[in-house]
Chains A and B, each alone.
Chain A
């Protein structure tokens, strides 16, 4: 006799996702996850069928980047689960809220080396914030609630739920756990957000006392949705702001106090301002090696205020003078209030005008620059990106792969709004751009989404353009094709005596136009400067399908500025045309 209150584990899983207000799942079915795909037919949830499970993961990340809501990827067991490992690690490194759901062999077969079995929980242990193998259908709703709770609170990150096939098939009695039940089930997980009041007061005092302060805004400010209060803090104190690769857009690039991106390929003004400052106000940043250069040579005179929701980031790389554990938005709000209180109480801020004009001087002396292409020569990638930027509709989202094109995109774009930049920062995952752009477009269908990609990256995940076409998710790809693994080529040129080893791809193969067309995209090849703007204009006018614009670019072009790996930020290499001004940095 069937009991009408009973549903299958698969139905419970999909119902649980609906309860979590999931509107889209990126995935690809297979043996063990099959039962979950059946109730999906009746669900309000949209499923985007990817061409490779890695694509599902990066789409979920792209979706999360632009919406702030957790992205969901659902795939089967074994090879599908291992294909999801890269996006999980990517999301872990960049603190992206994401929930991965993997099928698993039946509970009785676990450990028997069954077909498409792998130890998913073991494999993903160190690339998730948390993971869980669900052993009974009754546990599914709680497991889903825990996963979304953990993924989205505290320092966000990926959570994986591994679900054996029989757990999906078995019947259970539906019960949606309350907040208290979730909290009680996780006695070791209590993320709170308020900063320590004494520390905040101390930080406010340091801020007003500093003569050479810099705000070092990291990706945590975007996660905390703290763009507005960041602006308030900067404008209240007049302190200039650098935005890391993960934080581009959190402070408008067109704001007079914005110094842009610091670090290995950061602007001279941003990197040098940090280097010479006497107070770094680190907000949701983690002192990554690409920011600090050689750590013991980093910002030697600076005191550090470090605001981060993850206590383990305090002192991991650089010991802060004032550590504040808490939510970046709440803490920054409290910081603004504390500064206002001090000012109201008669404390005056140190005069930072001399410092600021020194920094502005660096901005003027060392703007981003590149040599114009000679007549008939290959395009300059920076030129293409500037034209792309200037023609982009307002609010355009830019996704990027990893390498030279990523750095140029970050440097040459003007990010004036938060959540318009989607890239793989910590893990540096080549091939991120296309699937991430697709995920971003699903999350923000109202916006234009441009992926800036390199030819090496494009070849890793291009098949997801088939997904984009079939699922009607129109994205635009600016493919900067220099026929090389450009960033590796740059290192070989600069640090390996121009001994080029395995970095040349091909100038003829593949034919990107034919390839893109075969995937249902409009494709345009651009080889001369006159063609650049018309091609971009055409691409921007097409909104019913994806467009690939292939720019044939100069393979000799390098990203400047550059701090060589392991060097101090003092030893930054400026663009050759600015070499004569190098003495301004000492």
Chain B
């Protein structure tokens, strides 16, 4: 399969896992920092973390727009940001969810099912003229799947943006920014 990249995410990006205090406006703070400093976000996912007082924001950042070091340091200046880990894509597990409703005729439907089967996608709903599918997996896999879906008429498509955690076995592979560094934030 040709390497395609509709979102450009594997070209020059970094994944930041940002642990923040779960407080009103914290997402707005992060978002407005990116907007104000001209940093681009490829995707962003946010949800409560293991500690209910904390949320984890997974941000895929565009390194064409700014050096990673500056992005991390500026993020650290936000009082609500507790910890930032840069996840090396080679050393992390990345997952994303895709939902799509595709217009298909009865004849095309089998074709679509075949593709879905290969990708281990789920058929969520089947109508006379449309099928809704979901696929969970590595974002690259979703990219490939999305390209094949485009052979049909995609009526609606929604992706969640990636979430990521470091791979289990090699804790050293999590390049956590040392907590002492946080202390230098003025």
Contact = CB atoms under 8 A, between A and B. Distances in A.
B169 to A, nearest CB: 29
Interface string A297-331: 00000000000011110111000000001100000
A188 B81 CA distance: 5
Interface string A101-126: 00000000000000000000110011
Contacts of A309: 184, 186
B79 A311 contact: no
Given A186-B79, A187-B21, A315 B70 contact: yes
A187 B182 CA distance: 10
B183 to A, nearest CB: 4
A187 B76 contact: no
Where chain A touches its partner, the secondary structure class is: loop
A311 B25 contact: no
Contact of B185 (A121, A133, A311, A316): A311
A310 B77 contact: yes
Given A188-B79, A309-B184, A311-B185, 16 more contacts: A125-B28, A125-B32, A126-B33, A155-B186, A187-B21, A188-B20, A188-B78, A188-B81, A188-B182, A189-B185, A190-B183, A191-B185, A311-B186, A312-B77, A315-B67, A326-B184
Interface of B: 20-21, 24-25, 28-29, 32-33, 36, 67, 69-70, 73-74, 76-83, 179-186
Interface in A234-272: none
A71 interface: no
B82 A191 contact: no
A126 B185 CA distance: 17
Contacts of B32: 125-126
Contacts of B79: 129-130, 150, 186, 188-189
Nearest to B78: A188
A192 interface: yes
A192 B186 CA distance: 8
A164 interface: no
Of residues B36, B67, B83, B186, which shows the largest number of chain A Cβ atoms within 10 Å of its Cβ? B186
A126 B74 CA distance: 12
Contact of B80 (A133, A154, A188, A325): A188
Contact of A311 (B20, B28, B81, B181): B181
A59 B186 CA distance: 24
A312 B183 contact: no
Nearest to B180: A192
Interface in A124-139: 125-126, 129-130, 133
A154 B185 contact: yes
Contacts of A155: 186
8 contacts: A126-B32, A129-B79, A188-B20, A189-B79, A309-B186, A311-B76, A312-B76, A326-B184
B29 A311 contact: no
B28 A122 contact: yes
A312 B81 CA distance: 14
A154 B181 CA distance: 13
Nearest to B35: A126
Contacts of A325: 184
Nearest to B73: A312
Interface in A446-474: none
A572 B126 CA distance: 73
A497 B7 CA distance: 48
